[in-house]
Structure 1
Amino acid sequence: MLTFLLIGVTVLLSWRAFERPRLLERLILWPPAIDRKHQYERLVTHGFIHADWQHLLFNMITLFFFGRAIEGLFAQYMGPLGFVLFYVSAIVVAILPTYVRHRRDANYRSLGASGGVSAVLFAFILLDPWTLIFVFFLPVPAIVYAVAYVGYSFWADKHGGDNVNHSAHLSGAAYGVLFMLLMEPRVAGVFLQELANPSFLS
Protein backbone atom coordinates (compact mmCIF):
# COMPACT_ATOMS: atom_id res chain seq x y z
CA MET A 1 0.00 0.00 0.00
CA LEU A 2 2.79 2.44 0.88
CA THR A 3 4.54 1.66 -2.39
CA PHE A 4 1.39 2.73 -4.27
CA LEU A 5 1.26 5.93 -2.19
CA LEU A 6 4.87 6.81 -3.04
CA ILE A 7 4.26 6.07 -6.71
CA GLY A 8 1.09 8.17 -6.72
CA VAL A 9 2.77 11.19 -5.13
CA THR A 10 5.75 10.91 -7.49
CA VAL A 11 3.63 10.60 -10.62
CA LEU A 12 1.43 13.53 -9.57
CA LEU A 13 4.32 15.86 -8.73
CA SER A 14 6.31 14.85 -11.83
CA TRP A 15 3.29 15.40 -14.07
CA ARG A 16 2.63 18.83 -12.56
CA ALA A 17 6.31 19.73 -12.91
CA PHE A 18 6.29 18.69 -16.59
CA GLU A 19 3.60 21.32 -17.21
CA ARG A 20 4.92 23.97 -14.82
CA PRO A 21 8.62 24.77 -15.30
CA ARG A 22 8.56 27.13 -12.31
CA LEU A 23 7.41 24.29 -10.06
CA LEU A 24 10.18 22.06 -11.39
CA GLU A 25 12.74 24.78 -10.69
CA ARG A 26 11.45 25.10 -7.14
CA LEU A 27 11.66 21.36 -6.39
CA ILE A 28 14.82 20.34 -8.27
CA LEU A 29 18.14 19.85 -6.52
CA TRP A 30 20.00 23.10 -7.21
CA PRO A 31 22.93 23.23 -4.74
CA PRO A 32 23.21 27.03 -4.43
CA ALA A 33 19.56 27.22 -3.30
CA ILE A 34 20.43 24.90 -0.43
CA ASP A 35 23.75 26.51 0.36
CA ARG A 36 22.64 30.15 0.13
CA LYS A 37 18.89 30.10 0.74
CA HIS A 38 18.78 27.09 3.11
CA GLN A 39 16.10 25.36 1.05
CA TYR A 40 16.95 21.97 2.52
CA GLU A 41 13.65 20.47 1.39
CA ARG A 42 15.17 20.20 -2.09
CA LEU A 43 17.20 17.26 -0.78
CA VAL A 44 13.86 15.42 -0.66
CA THR A 45 11.70 17.06 -3.34
CA HIS A 46 14.15 16.39 -6.18
CA GLY A 47 13.35 12.69 -5.75
CA PHE A 48 9.68 13.22 -6.58
CA ILE A 49 10.13 14.92 -9.97
CA HIS A 50 11.57 13.59 -13.22
CA ALA A 51 13.04 14.78 -16.50
CA ASP A 52 10.43 13.11 -18.72
CA TRP A 53 7.85 10.32 -18.83
CA GLN A 54 10.43 7.66 -19.75
CA HIS A 55 12.57 8.59 -16.74
CA LEU A 56 9.51 8.50 -14.50
CA LEU A 57 8.19 5.21 -15.90
CA PHE A 58 11.46 3.35 -15.46
CA ASN A 59 11.83 4.41 -11.82
CA MET A 60 8.21 3.76 -10.90
CA ILE A 61 8.09 0.30 -12.51
CA THR A 62 11.18 -0.68 -10.49
CA LEU A 63 9.68 0.77 -7.31
CA PHE A 64 6.39 -1.02 -7.98
CA PHE A 65 7.88 -4.49 -8.25
CA PHE A 66 10.51 -4.34 -5.53
CA GLY A 67 8.88 -1.91 -3.10
CA ARG A 68 5.82 -4.12 -2.72
CA ALA A 69 8.05 -7.11 -2.06
CA ILE A 70 9.86 -5.57 0.93
CA GLU A 71 7.58 -2.96 2.49
CA GLY A 72 6.01 -5.57 4.79
CA LEU A 73 9.42 -6.38 6.26
CA PHE A 74 10.01 -2.75 7.18
CA ALA A 75 6.59 -2.59 8.84
CA GLN A 76 7.59 -5.47 11.13
CA TYR A 77 10.67 -3.66 12.38
CA MET A 78 9.76 0.03 12.09
CA GLY A 79 5.99 0.25 12.18
CA PRO A 80 3.46 1.05 9.45
CA LEU A 81 5.42 3.97 8.00
CA GLY A 82 8.80 2.24 8.13
CA PHE A 83 9.07 1.77 4.39
CA VAL A 84 8.28 5.42 3.69
CA LEU A 85 10.95 6.53 6.17
CA PHE A 86 13.46 4.21 4.54
CA TYR A 87 12.64 5.41 1.02
CA VAL A 88 12.65 9.14 1.81
CA SER A 89 15.86 8.88 3.84
CA ALA A 90 17.44 6.97 0.93
CA ILE A 91 16.61 9.83 -1.44
CA VAL A 92 18.38 12.25 0.91
CA VAL A 93 21.42 10.09 1.65
CA ALA A 94 21.87 9.16 -2.02
CA ILE A 95 22.07 12.80 -3.11
CA LEU A 96 24.39 14.07 -0.36
CA PRO A 97 27.68 13.19 -2.14
CA THR A 98 26.38 14.98 -5.24
CA TYR A 99 25.39 18.03 -3.21
CA VAL A 100 28.79 18.21 -1.54
CA ARG A 101 30.60 17.82 -4.86
CA HIS A 102 28.54 20.52 -6.61
CA ARG A 103 27.80 22.71 -3.61
CA ARG A 104 28.88 25.92 -5.30
CA ASP A 105 28.12 24.98 -8.89
CA ALA A 106 25.28 27.22 -10.06
CA ASN A 107 25.01 25.29 -13.33
CA TYR A 108 24.34 21.91 -11.74
CA ARG A 109 20.89 20.40 -11.27
CA SER A 110 19.67 16.92 -10.42
CA LEU A 111 16.26 15.27 -10.19
CA GLY A 112 14.66 11.84 -10.09
CA ALA A 113 13.91 9.00 -7.70
CA SER A 114 16.85 6.84 -8.78
CA GLY A 115 18.69 7.10 -5.45
CA GLY A 116 15.69 5.91 -3.45
CA VAL A 117 14.77 3.29 -6.03
CA SER A 118 18.34 1.92 -6.01
CA ALA A 119 18.12 1.56 -2.23
CA VAL A 120 14.88 -0.40 -2.56
CA LEU A 121 16.27 -2.62 -5.30
CA PHE A 122 19.45 -3.51 -3.42
CA ALA A 123 17.59 -4.08 -0.16
CA PHE A 124 15.49 -6.62 -2.05
CA ILE A 125 18.53 -8.27 -3.65
CA LEU A 126 19.89 -9.02 -0.17
CA LEU A 127 16.81 -11.13 0.48
CA ASP A 128 16.53 -12.90 -2.87
CA PRO A 129 19.73 -12.59 -4.92
CA TRP A 130 18.74 -15.19 -7.53
CA THR A 131 15.34 -13.82 -8.44
CA LEU A 132 15.10 -12.91 -12.10
CA ILE A 133 15.05 -9.26 -13.11
CA PHE A 134 13.99 -8.50 -16.66
CA VAL A 135 16.45 -6.13 -18.32
CA PHE A 136 15.29 -5.11 -21.79
CA PHE A 137 12.99 -8.18 -21.66
CA LEU A 138 15.89 -10.53 -20.88
CA PRO A 139 15.82 -12.44 -17.55
CA VAL A 140 18.93 -11.75 -15.45
CA PRO A 141 19.61 -13.03 -11.90
CA ALA A 142 19.35 -10.11 -9.47
CA ILE A 143 22.86 -10.58 -8.10
CA VAL A 144 24.35 -10.55 -11.60
CA TYR A 145 22.41 -7.39 -12.38
CA ALA A 146 23.63 -5.83 -9.12
CA VAL A 147 27.30 -6.48 -9.93
CA ALA A 148 26.89 -5.11 -13.46
CA TYR A 149 24.90 -2.11 -12.18
CA VAL A 150 27.55 -1.16 -9.62
CA GLY A 151 30.42 -1.70 -12.05
CA TYR A 152 28.81 0.37 -14.78
CA SER A 153 27.81 3.13 -12.33
CA PHE A 154 31.40 3.42 -11.07
CA TRP A 155 32.71 3.62 -14.62
CA ALA A 156 30.06 6.08 -15.80
CA ASP A 157 30.47 8.28 -12.72
CA LYS A 158 34.15 8.73 -13.53
CA HIS A 159 33.67 9.30 -17.25
CA GLY A 160 30.39 11.27 -17.13
CA GLY A 161 28.85 12.92 -20.15
CA ASP A 162 25.41 11.28 -20.11
CA ASN A 163 23.57 13.67 -17.73
CA VAL A 164 22.77 10.77 -15.36
CA ASN A 165 23.61 11.05 -11.67
CA HIS A 166 25.44 7.74 -11.26
CA SER A 167 26.80 8.85 -7.91
CA ALA A 168 23.25 8.85 -6.51
CA HIS A 169 22.71 5.35 -7.88
CA LEU A 170 25.78 4.07 -6.05
CA SER A 171 25.03 5.91 -2.82
CA GLY A 172 21.43 4.71 -2.86
CA ALA A 173 22.47 1.11 -3.45
CA ALA A 174 24.99 1.23 -0.60
CA TYR A 175 22.44 2.81 1.71
CA GLY A 176 19.85 0.14 0.92
CA VAL A 177 22.30 -2.62 1.83
CA LEU A 178 23.57 -0.94 5.00
CA PHE A 179 20.08 -0.03 6.20
CA MET A 180 18.89 -3.61 5.82
CA LEU A 181 21.91 -5.01 7.65
CA LEU A 182 21.54 -2.55 10.52
CA MET A 183 17.81 -3.17 10.78
CA GLU A 184 18.22 -6.95 10.75
CA PRO A 185 21.82 -8.27 10.88
CA ARG A 186 20.61 -11.81 10.20
CA VAL A 187 19.90 -10.74 6.62
CA ALA A 188 23.64 -11.13 5.94
CA GLY A 189 23.43 -14.83 6.76
CA VAL A 190 20.32 -15.25 4.64
CA PHE A 191 22.05 -13.54 1.73
CA LEU A 192 25.16 -15.74 1.94
CA GLN A 193 23.05 -18.88 2.22
CA GLU A 194 20.93 -17.90 -0.77
CA LEU A 195 24.02 -16.93 -2.74
CA ALA A 196 25.56 -20.36 -2.14
CA ASN A 197 22.41 -22.11 -3.34
CA PRO A 198 21.33 -20.71 -6.71
CA SER A 199 17.62 -21.33 -7.08
CA PHE A 200 17.92 -22.27 -10.74
CA LEU A 201 20.15 -25.22 -9.75
CA SER A 202 17.61 -26.69 -7.33
Structure 2
Amino acid sequence: MITYTFLAIILIFSIYCFNDRNAMNKYMFHPYSIHHNKEHYRFLTHAFIHGDFMHLAFNCIALYGFGLGLEEQFFGNPNIFDPRLGKLYYILLFTGGIYAASFTEYYRNKDNPDYSSLGASGAISSILFCYIMISPLSSISFFFFPMKGWIAGVLLLGVSYFLIRRKKTSTYSDNISHESHFWGAIFGIAFILILKPKILLHFIDQIMSSFQ
Protein backbone atom coordinates (compact mmCIF):
# COMPACT_ATOMS: atom_id res chain seq x y z
CA MET A 1 0.00 0.00 0.00
CA ILE A 2 1.35 3.40 -1.03
CA THR A 3 -0.27 5.10 1.98
CA TYR A 4 1.72 2.88 4.34
CA THR A 5 4.89 3.75 2.44
CA PHE A 6 4.20 7.48 2.79
CA LEU A 7 3.45 7.01 6.48
CA ALA A 8 6.67 5.07 7.05
CA ILE A 9 8.78 7.71 5.30
CA ILE A 10 7.10 10.54 7.23
CA LEU A 11 7.51 8.79 10.58
CA ILE A 12 11.12 7.74 10.06
CA PHE A 13 12.28 11.03 8.52
CA SER A 14 10.43 13.18 11.08
CA ILE A 15 11.78 11.28 14.09
CA TYR A 16 15.27 11.40 12.58
CA CYS A 17 15.01 15.18 12.23
CA PHE A 18 13.66 15.54 15.79
CA ASN A 19 17.07 14.27 16.89
CA ASP A 20 19.09 16.17 14.30
CA ARG A 21 18.12 19.81 14.04
CA ASN A 22 20.75 20.41 11.36
CA ALA A 23 18.96 17.89 9.15
CA MET A 24 15.63 19.56 9.90
CA ASN A 25 17.02 22.95 8.90
CA LYS A 26 18.50 21.44 5.74
CA TYR A 27 15.28 19.80 4.51
CA MET A 28 12.51 22.16 5.68
CA PHE A 29 10.78 24.54 3.28
CA HIS A 30 12.89 27.69 3.09
CA PRO A 31 12.01 29.82 0.04
CA TYR A 32 15.09 32.02 0.43
CA SER A 33 17.40 28.99 0.10
CA ILE A 34 15.38 27.60 -2.80
CA HIS A 35 15.60 30.87 -4.70
CA HIS A 36 19.10 32.02 -3.83
CA ASN A 37 20.90 28.69 -3.29
CA LYS A 38 18.90 26.61 -5.83
CA GLU A 39 17.98 24.05 -3.14
CA HIS A 40 14.88 22.91 -5.03
CA TYR A 41 14.70 19.60 -3.15
CA ARG A 42 13.16 21.54 -0.24
CA PHE A 43 9.88 21.80 -2.17
CA LEU A 44 9.45 18.05 -1.66
CA THR A 45 11.44 17.11 1.45
CA HIS A 46 9.70 19.55 3.80
CA ALA A 47 6.49 17.52 3.60
CA PHE A 48 8.13 14.50 5.19
CA ILE A 49 9.34 16.26 8.35
CA HIS A 50 7.34 17.79 11.21
CA GLY A 51 7.93 20.26 13.99
CA ASP A 52 6.92 18.08 16.93
CA PHE A 53 5.17 14.84 17.86
CA MET A 54 1.71 16.46 18.01
CA HIS A 55 2.10 17.84 14.48
CA LEU A 56 3.39 14.47 13.30
CA ALA A 57 0.60 12.48 14.98
CA PHE A 58 -2.18 14.71 13.64
CA ASN A 59 -0.97 14.49 10.03
CA CYS A 60 -0.30 10.75 10.19
CA ILE A 61 -3.78 10.06 11.60
CA ALA A 62 -5.35 12.17 8.85
CA LEU A 63 -3.29 10.48 6.14
CA TYR A 64 -4.15 7.03 7.46
CA GLY A 65 -7.83 7.85 7.88
CA PHE A 66 -8.46 9.36 4.46
CA GLY A 67 -5.54 8.23 2.32
CA LEU A 68 -5.95 4.52 2.93
CA GLY A 69 -9.66 4.55 2.07
CA LEU A 70 -9.06 6.69 -1.02
CA GLU A 71 -6.28 4.41 -2.22
CA GLU A 72 -8.16 1.16 -1.63
CA GLN A 73 -11.65 2.13 -2.73
CA PHE A 74 -10.94 4.53 -5.58
CA PHE A 75 -7.42 4.64 -7.01
CA GLY A 76 -6.90 0.94 -6.28
CA ASN A 77 -10.28 -0.12 -7.67
CA PRO A 78 -9.69 -2.04 -10.95
CA ASN A 79 -13.21 -1.11 -12.08
CA ILE A 80 -12.16 2.56 -12.11
CA PHE A 81 -8.45 2.53 -13.02
CA ASP A 82 -5.86 0.22 -14.43
CA PRO A 83 -3.97 -0.82 -11.24
CA ARG A 84 -0.67 0.70 -12.38
CA LEU A 85 -2.30 3.98 -13.43
CA GLY A 86 -4.25 4.15 -10.19
CA LYS A 87 -1.03 3.93 -8.18
CA LEU A 88 0.59 6.60 -10.33
CA TYR A 89 -2.39 8.94 -9.97
CA TYR A 90 -2.43 8.51 -6.21
CA ILE A 91 1.28 9.35 -5.98
CA LEU A 92 0.71 12.39 -8.22
CA LEU A 93 -2.16 13.53 -5.99
CA PHE A 94 0.06 13.40 -2.91
CA THR A 95 3.21 14.93 -4.40
CA GLY A 96 1.30 17.44 -6.52
CA GLY A 97 -0.44 18.63 -3.37
CA ILE A 98 2.95 19.30 -1.79
CA TYR A 99 4.03 21.55 -4.65
CA ALA A 100 0.65 23.24 -5.12
CA ALA A 101 0.56 24.13 -1.42
CA SER A 102 4.06 25.65 -1.53
CA PHE A 103 4.17 27.95 -4.53
CA THR A 104 2.33 30.96 -3.14
CA GLU A 105 4.52 31.03 -0.04
CA TYR A 106 7.60 30.52 -2.19
CA TYR A 107 6.90 33.60 -4.31
CA ARG A 108 5.89 35.66 -1.29
CA ASN A 109 8.96 34.75 0.77
CA LYS A 110 11.74 33.97 -1.70
CA ASP A 111 13.65 37.04 -0.50
CA ASN A 112 12.74 36.58 3.17
CA PRO A 113 15.46 34.64 5.01
CA ASP A 114 13.31 34.42 8.16
CA TYR A 115 10.44 32.39 6.68
CA SER A 116 10.36 28.57 6.83
CA SER A 117 7.76 25.84 7.17
CA LEU A 118 7.45 22.07 7.24
CA GLY A 119 4.86 19.29 7.31
CA ALA A 120 2.59 17.29 5.03
CA SER A 121 -0.49 19.48 5.44
CA GLY A 122 -0.67 20.44 1.76
CA ALA A 123 -0.55 16.85 0.56
CA ILE A 124 -3.06 15.71 3.17
CA SER A 125 -5.43 18.55 2.23
CA SER A 126 -5.26 17.32 -1.36
CA ILE A 127 -6.14 13.80 -0.26
CA LEU A 128 -8.89 14.98 2.09
CA PHE A 129 -10.64 17.12 -0.52
CA CYS A 130 -10.29 14.47 -3.20
CA TYR A 131 -11.98 12.13 -0.72
CA ILE A 132 -14.74 14.68 -0.08
CA MET A 133 -15.40 15.10 -3.81
CA ILE A 134 -15.84 11.35 -4.19
CA SER A 135 -17.78 10.78 -0.98
CA PRO A 136 -19.34 14.08 0.13
CA LEU A 137 -21.77 12.47 2.57
CA SER A 138 -19.11 10.63 4.57
CA SER A 139 -18.82 11.81 8.17
CA ILE A 140 -15.79 14.01 8.92
CA SER A 141 -14.90 15.70 12.19
CA PHE A 142 -14.49 19.47 12.07
CA PHE A 143 -12.83 20.56 15.33
CA PHE A 144 -14.14 17.32 16.85
CA PHE A 145 -17.71 17.91 15.65
CA PRO A 146 -18.84 15.19 13.19
CA MET A 147 -20.59 16.44 10.05
CA LYS A 148 -21.05 15.54 6.41
CA GLY A 149 -17.83 15.74 4.40
CA TRP A 150 -18.99 18.44 1.98
CA ILE A 151 -20.04 20.71 4.86
CA ALA A 152 -16.70 20.19 6.60
CA GLY A 153 -14.97 20.94 3.29
CA VAL A 154 -16.81 24.24 2.84
CA LEU A 155 -16.00 25.24 6.41
CA LEU A 156 -12.34 24.28 6.10
CA LEU A 157 -11.92 26.27 2.90
CA GLY A 158 -13.77 29.24 4.37
CA VAL A 159 -11.78 29.27 7.61
CA SER A 160 -8.47 28.86 5.75
CA TYR A 161 -9.31 31.72 3.37
CA PHE A 162 -10.39 33.97 6.26
CA LEU A 163 -7.17 33.28 8.18
CA ILE A 164 -5.05 33.88 5.07
CA ARG A 165 -6.73 37.26 4.58
CA ARG A 166 -6.38 38.15 8.27
CA LYS A 167 -2.67 37.35 8.22
CA LYS A 168 -2.21 39.70 5.26
CA THR A 169 -4.08 42.58 6.83
CA SER A 170 -2.83 42.39 10.43
CA THR A 171 0.22 41.55 12.50
CA TYR A 172 -1.49 38.42 13.87
CA SER A 173 0.30 35.14 13.21
CA ASP A 174 -0.47 31.64 14.52
CA ASN A 175 2.55 29.97 12.86
CA ILE A 176 0.24 27.79 10.75
CA SER A 177 0.52 27.79 6.97
CA HIS A 178 -3.14 28.21 6.08
CA GLU A 179 -2.02 28.73 2.48
CA SER A 180 -0.85 25.11 2.45
CA HIS A 181 -4.26 23.89 3.59
CA PHE A 182 -6.13 26.08 1.10
CA TRP A 183 -4.07 25.48 -2.03
CA GLY A 184 -3.57 21.80 -1.24
CA ALA A 185 -7.36 21.49 -1.05
CA ILE A 186 -7.86 23.34 -4.35
CA PHE A 187 -5.32 21.07 -6.01
CA GLY A 188 -7.11 17.95 -4.71
CA ILE A 189 -10.43 19.17 -6.11
CA ALA A 190 -8.94 20.18 -9.47
CA PHE A 191 -6.94 16.96 -9.79
CA ILE A 192 -9.90 14.63 -9.40
CA LEU A 193 -12.15 16.73 -11.66
CA ILE A 194 -9.55 16.73 -14.43
CA LEU A 195 -9.05 13.00 -13.99
CA LYS A 196 -12.75 12.13 -13.74
CA PRO A 197 -14.98 15.10 -14.74
CA LYS A 198 -18.15 13.10 -14.04
CA ILE A 199 -17.23 13.20 -10.34
CA LEU A 200 -18.71 16.71 -10.22
CA LEU A 201 -22.17 15.49 -11.23
CA HIS A 202 -21.86 12.58 -8.80
CA PHE A 203 -20.85 15.04 -6.06
CA ILE A 204 -23.85 17.30 -6.73
CA ASP A 205 -26.29 14.39 -7.02
CA GLN A 206 -25.21 12.96 -3.66
CA ILE A 207 -25.63 16.31 -1.91
CA MET A 208 -29.02 16.98 -3.49
CA SER A 209 -30.24 13.50 -2.58
CA SER A 210 -29.42 14.15 1.07
CA PHE A 211 -32.04 16.93 1.13
CA GLN A 212 -34.85 14.76 -0.22
Superposed pair shares fold, TM > 0.5: yes
Out of 196, 201, 209, the residue aligned to residue 184 of structure 1 is: 196
Deviations 1:108-138 (A, max 9, x none): 0011100000000000000111111134543
Check the 8 A contact 2:33/2:39 in 1, yes or no: yes
User: What residue identity is the alignment partner of 2:75?
Assistant: F
- Alignment partner, residue 48 of structure 1: 48
Aligned to 1:29: 29
* Alignment match, 2:98: 91
**Correspondence 1:164 to 2:176:** yes
Runs of 5+ unmatched residues, structure 1: none
Superposition map of 1:106-185 within 5 A: 106-160=113-167, 161-185=173-197
Partner amino acid, structure 2, of 1:131:
S
Q: Which residue of 2 aligns with 1:100?
A: 107
User: Could you list the per-position Cα deviations for residues 76-124 of structure 1 after superposition, in whole angstroms to 9, with x for gaps in the alignment?
Assistant: 2624333122201210111111111111100000111000000000000
| Cα offsets for 1:14-36 (capped at 9, x unmatched) | 11111100000011011111111
In 2: Cα distance, 1:59 partner to 1:185 partner: 28
Task: Report the aligned-residue RMSD.
Answer: 1.5
For 2:170, the equivalent position in structure 1 comes to none
Stretches of structure 2 lacking an aligned partner (at least 5 in a row): 168-172
Query: For structure 1, which segment, 84-93 or 99-108, has the greater mean C-alpha deviation from structure 2 after superposition?
Result: 84-93
- State the alpha-carbon separation in 1 of the partners of residues 129 and 14 from structure 2: 24
Q: Secondary structure at the match of 2:13?
A: helix
Q: Percent identity?
A: 30
8 A contact 2:129–2:153 mirrored in 1: yes
Provide the TM-score with structure 1 as the length reference. 0.94
TM-score normalized by structure 2? 0.90
User: Which residue is 2:67 aligned to?
Assistant: 67
> Aligned letter for 1:74?
F
